Amino acid sequence: MTQAPRQGGWIEVICGSMFSGKTEELIRRLRRAQIAKQSVAIFKPSLDDRYSDDEIVSHSKLRIPSTPVMSSQDILKHANEADVIGVDEAQFFAPDIVDVVRELARRGKRVLVAGLDKDYRGEPFGSLPELMAEAEYVTKTLAICMQCGEPANFTQRLTKDEEQILIGETDIYEARCRRCYTPLLSEKE
């Protein structure tokens, strides 16, 4: 971040493919805010229970306590006293997450949002594109292609499941570069 706004709140979005370090970066920024003695509230969708029910956990096992919520409206209910709000896996929330994040920034909060910008089909995922358009700061993270080692911007699904939301990790997904990524792998097998 080059310069924080002097008055009011703002929105920071951290986006990229799976295994690109989005959650690690979110945790790093939230910990820095805590070290600065800022009041921090951290949220994640309750459906993301891969590593923990009440923590945000990166694939490298960095973790920070969080509040699981059923809807983005629950974030508004629990974020009143915090100066800094963290939201992980924002792509899993309903479209009203954009209004919630806008409202928090309007109230003077620093709002940090992390999530997948594209789904396994390579298409925009959930409200991330709109959140990126709303944000004052956008950080795009890249993974390393698990096939060739090049910078990776895609999430390759390794199963034939076709629902958009399928919670998993390396057993179901790989980070892939543009060259190694195969859209709709299940149709190609």
Q: Catalytic positions, please?
A: 89
What amino acid occupies position 169?
E
How far is 158 from 156, CA to CA, in rounded Å?
Answer: 6
**Angle at the Cα of 135 (from 169 to 157), degrees rounded to 5?**
20
174: which 2 tokens?
A: 């790989």
- Residue 187: CB atoms within 10 Å: 9
**Angle at the Cα of 71 (from 68 to 72), degrees rounded to 5?**
95
